[in-house]
Amino acid sequence: MIACLLIPDLVAHIQHQDSDHDGKPIILTTIAGKVQAASFAAVQVGVRAGMGKNQAQTLCPNAVFLPLQDKPYIEATEAIGDALLDFTNKIEIISGFWKPPKKKPTTPAYPSGAIYYLDLGKLKQAEALTLAEQLQQELMTQFGITACMGLASSKFTAAAAVRFATPDAPKLIRLGFERQFLSRLPVSLLSLNKDMSRRLYLLGIHTLGAFARLPKDVVLNQFGKDAPFLHQLAQGKDTRAVAVRVVKPQESIHKLLDGPVEDQTVLDALFQMIGCEAAERLNSRNMTTQKLGLQLVLDNGKTIKAERVLREATSNAKLISRTLMRLITSVELSVGVVEVLVTVSELTTPVMQQLDLFGTPSLGQNRLSDLLENLTARFGDESFYQVIPLETDHWLPERRYAFEKADVA
Amino acid sequence: MNASKQQDLQTVIAAIHKKWGANAIKKGSVNQTPDRLSTGFSGLDTLLSGGIIRGGLTEIVGKPTSGMTTLALKLITSAQEVKDGVVYLDLASAFDPDSATYYGVNLAEMILVRDGFENVAELLYDIVVSGIAGLVVFNSLPLLSSEQQTLLAHVINRAIPTLTQSRCALVLLSLAVPARRSFISQYADLRLHTAFERWLIEDGQVQGYQTVVTVLKYKGGNEGRKAPLRIMFDDKMAEADT
């Protein structure tokens, strides 16, 4: 049994958590002012992805418009994927955050929702419905989100079924009734290219049933080599399996402080301790990390997140501590910190390196450090900067790199 | 050559020196071509006999968005490939790490200097004289006043004797002002002018642009010759057929 889980307003839900908008519908737009995602209430009144801001405002006058932030969405999608691992390890996230292709942007059919395929194994009808209910409850308890679920024997039918499901009532298509269910649905459910859509339209084929009834050889001759697969989908025959979700290993260290801490010295000492603990854990697993994440919960309830990708993977306690110290200097702390969560991810096994007898950095780099030292001794360190990559894929240019005072040491 | 023949040759040379003077006969040596730093564009490299001159001043003049900075970034990449230290004096605070990374610059192995003009000019002298940096890029893209140009010319004049003895390539990016002649240009071993030529459009979309580099001054000849460069936005850059 394959389950197709649709969370239609995940993006808006996440942004809603971070802001207070008195329960108003939220519409997320790109910099160009195009609608990229919307909360369920806005979708219900006709707001769609790709729509202009003015049109969306006309349809949903009381909506709040916010700029889209992709990172929390990706994190939430992955977190939900991890939570679903309690039910099955065969999970596919189909509709992740939609990024416009570089050359020829196209509007996706439904970019705002997160879609998951889950292979629930061999289940009877009643068992599948019970499991679906449990799954929906789990998502509500853990993340506070509502999800619609379609259940069928194959991915395509389940994805079609989810369109008829509501958060209260999952839609189940019984084994053997797939073709009958699909026959009434529009042929546009298949990912057709422009030419094929046009030809089908001209031939008067508008439903999956009409398309499924065409002879196989005619489909091949008329629409080309990709068409037989779509023809099979229309007939309810979908043999595609759900891929196994690979869990990325990571280590988390959580520290709850006795009271709000603002003192940099205390925080530095804490990070040294965390660095040692992280290094110990990594060494025990014979792993190195290349990405460090820092999450600080402040006394006023706000959460600050920062992360850094290291140039080389490491399990060195000092390096980890130093990176964490640098991370905290890059954030502005107006109030004390009450909770610290450090995540070391992108774990890899250490790569063996041939060490030099007197291992030193490359000549140019080494001499450059000497030059920097000489210059800072004479001119001070105010003029010299190093460019540090932060979130190089971030849509805001100023968030991609940081200009930090060059470190002579 | 065996020992006896070698000895005979030395005797003959000594006799010639005695009769005609020390300059009459000299040992032959391999003709050493000046050290070059590749521009990253093979067409331009061919025109410049391998790239810009090390131990000399290269001035790149042009209007903003004419490809000057791209050329400078490609020079940085070339310098880093041969493990040269790079210093970028960013007078305009306009250094774009995104473009730099795109053109292959290793940001970790570069010093970026940002300060007022006087300090930067003084730093320029110190950096050049230190002889450590393999490439120094001075981005003076905002139009310099006459006083600033005079000061910069003075700094370069002081640095030139050391610069010529070093492997350091000093690159100056300046704004092209047709009406005025730059004070610094007299010290330049190589002057290049970049000019935007046309957009490169494929499938109805702008994929990049073509810029033309003209050699304004070059001691090795080829003055007035041009090299078209194709700078692509998406993929890597290519060069126009010359």
Which position has the higher pLDDT, B214 or A250?
A: B214
Residue with the larger pLDDT of the pair B7 and B23: B7
Q: How many CB atoms lie within 10 A of CB B171?
A: 25
A48 residue type, one letter = R
Q: State yes or no: pLDDT of A90 exceeds 80.
A: yes
Output the pLDDT for position B234.
63
d(CA B144, CA B158): 19
Residue of A78 and A280 predicted with greater confidence: A280
Name the token pair of B234.
């998406």
| Predicted confidence (pLDDT) at residue A274 exceeds the cutoff of 80 | yes
CB A393 within 8 A of CB A381: no
User: Does residue B76 belong to the interface with chain A, where contact is any CB pair within 8 Å?
Assistant: no
Q: State whether residue A259 is helix, strand or coil.
A: strand
b/e A293-328 (16+ beta carbons within 10 angstroms → b):
bbbbbbbeeeebebbbebeebbbbbebbbbbbbbbb
SS3 B150: helix
- Please tell me which of the candidates A104, A383, A385 has its beta carbon nearest to residue B123: A383
Answer yes or no: are the C-beta atoms of B80 and A335 closer than 8 Å.
no
pLDDT for A106 beyond 60: no
Partner-chain contact A368 B127, CB within 8 Å: no
CA A267 to chain centre: 30
pLDDT tens digits, residue range B28-63? 655 455 588 888 888 888 888 888 988 888 999 888
Query: Is the pLDDT confidence value at A5 over 90?
Result: no
Q: CA A260 to CA A117: how far, in whole Å? A: 43
User: What is the average pLDDT across B189-214?
Assistant: 86
B83 interfacial to chain A (CB closer than 8 Å) = yes
- CB pair distance less than 8 Å for A365 and B83: yes
- Give the residue with greater pLDDT, B175 vs B80: B80
Asked whether the beta carbons of residue B113 and residue A392 sit closer than 8 angstroms, the reply is no
B65 three-state secondary structure: coil
Window from A118-122, A188-192, A361-365 with minimum mean pLDDT = A361-365
Interface touch B123/A389, C-beta < 8 Å: no
Reply yes or no on whether the pLDDT at B125 is more than 60. Answer: yes
Contacts with B97 from chain A: Cβ below 8 Å:
387, 389, 400-401
Mean pLDDT for all residues in chain A: 80
Task: Indicate yes or no: CB of A389 within 8 angstroms of CB of B85.
Answer: no
pLDDT digits (tens, 9 = 90+) for A323-333: 888 888 877 77
List pLDDT tens digits, range A113-127.
678 888 888 888 888
The terminus-to-terminus CA distance of chain B in angstroms comes to 48
Residue B119 at interface with chain A, using a CB cutoff of 8 Å:
yes
CA distance to partner chain B, nearest, from residue A32 (Å): 18
Closest CA to A294 of A305, A302, A303: A305
Measured between CA atoms, how close is A374 to chain B, in angstroms?
9
In the predicted model, is pLDDT for residue A45 greater than 90? no
Of B85, B107, B119, the CB nearest to A383: B119
Q: Among A367, A383, A388, select the one facing B114 at the smallest CB separation.
A: A383
Per-residue confidence band for B171, with pLDDT thresholds at 50, 70 and 90: very high
Residues A18-31 have a mean pLDDT of 70
Residue type, B49: S
In the predicted model, is pLDDT for residue B75 greater than 90? yes
Touching B: A residues 376-395, CB under 8 Å: 378-379, 382-389, 392
Pick the range with the lowest mean pLDDT from A16-20, A35-39, B36-40, B139-143: A16-20
Q: What is the pLDDT of residue A250?
A: 81
Greater model confidence, A378 or A22: A378
pTM of the model as a whole: 0.44
Q: How far is A164 from A168, CA to CA, in rounded Å?
A: 11
Is the pLDDT score of A391 beyond 80? Answer: no
pLDDT band at A107 (very low <50, low <70, confident <90, very high): very low
Assess whether pLDDT exceeds 80 at residue A215: yes
Lowest mean pLDDT among A31-40, A185-194, A249-258, B163-172: A31-40
Higher pLDDT among residues A297 and A357, named by residue = A297
Please name the residue of chain B whose CA is at the shortest distance from the CA of residue A105: B205
- Residue B222 token pair: 């080829």
* Cβ contacts of A401 on chain B, cutoff 8 Å: 97-98, 107
Residue B132 Rama label (left phi>0; alpha psi -120 to 50; beta): alpha
Say if the ipTM goes beyond 0.95: no
Window from A1-15, B28-42, B141-155 with minimum mean pLDDT: B28-42
What are B202-242's pLDDT values in tens digits? 777 888 888 999 988 887 777 788 888 888 876 444 444 33
Residue found under tokens 């046309």: B198
Write the pLDDT tens digit of every residue in A130-173: 888 888 888 888 887 888 889 998 888 998 888 888 888 888 88
pLDDT of residue A408: 60
Give the distance from residue A369's alpha carbon to the nearest chain B alpha carbon, in angstroms: 9
Query: What pLDDT sits at residue B212?
Result: 92
* Inter-CA distances, A205 with A212, A327, B23, Å: 10, 59, 97
Of all residues in chain B, the percent with pLDDT exceeding 90 is 9
| Distance in angstroms (rounded) separating the CA atoms of residues B152 and B168 | 18
Query: What tokens appear for B120 in the block?
Result: 């930067």
Helices A70-83 and A10-18 sit at what angle, rounded to 10 degrees? 110
Average pLDDT along chain B: 81
Q: A244 falls in which pLDDT band (50, 70, 90)?
A: confident
CB contact under 8 A, A367 and B85: yes
Residues of chain B contacting A386 with CB distance shorter than 8 Å: 107-108, 110-112
Residues of B in contact with A405 (CB under 8 A): none
**Residue A371 touches chain B, beta carbons under 8 Å:** yes
Residue B155 has pLDDT above 80, yes or no: yes
Residue from B95, B103, B132 whose CB has the most chain A CBs within 10 Å, to mutate: B132
Lowest-pLDDT choice from A196-210, A262-276, B177-191: B177-191
pLDDT of residue A409: 52
Q: What is the pLDDT of residue A379?
A: 76
- Cβ contacts of B134 on chain A, cutoff 8 Å: 364
Task: Classify B22 as helix, strand or coil.
Answer: coil
Residue A364 has pLDDT above 70, yes or no: no
Q: Which residues contact A121 (CB under 8 A, 6 or more apart)?
A: A1, A88
Q: What span, in angstroms and rounded, lies between the C-alpha atoms of A52 and B47?
A: 51
Q: What is the pLDDT of residue A365?
A: 56
Residue A19 is predicted with a pLDDT of 57
Residues of chain A found within 8 Å of residue B86, distances taken between Cβ atoms: 368
Whole-number pLDDT of residue B76 = 93
pLDDT greater than 60 at residue A180: yes
Which residues between 33 and 72 in chain B have a beta carbon less than 8 angstroms from any beta carbon of chain A? none
pLDDT at A96: 44
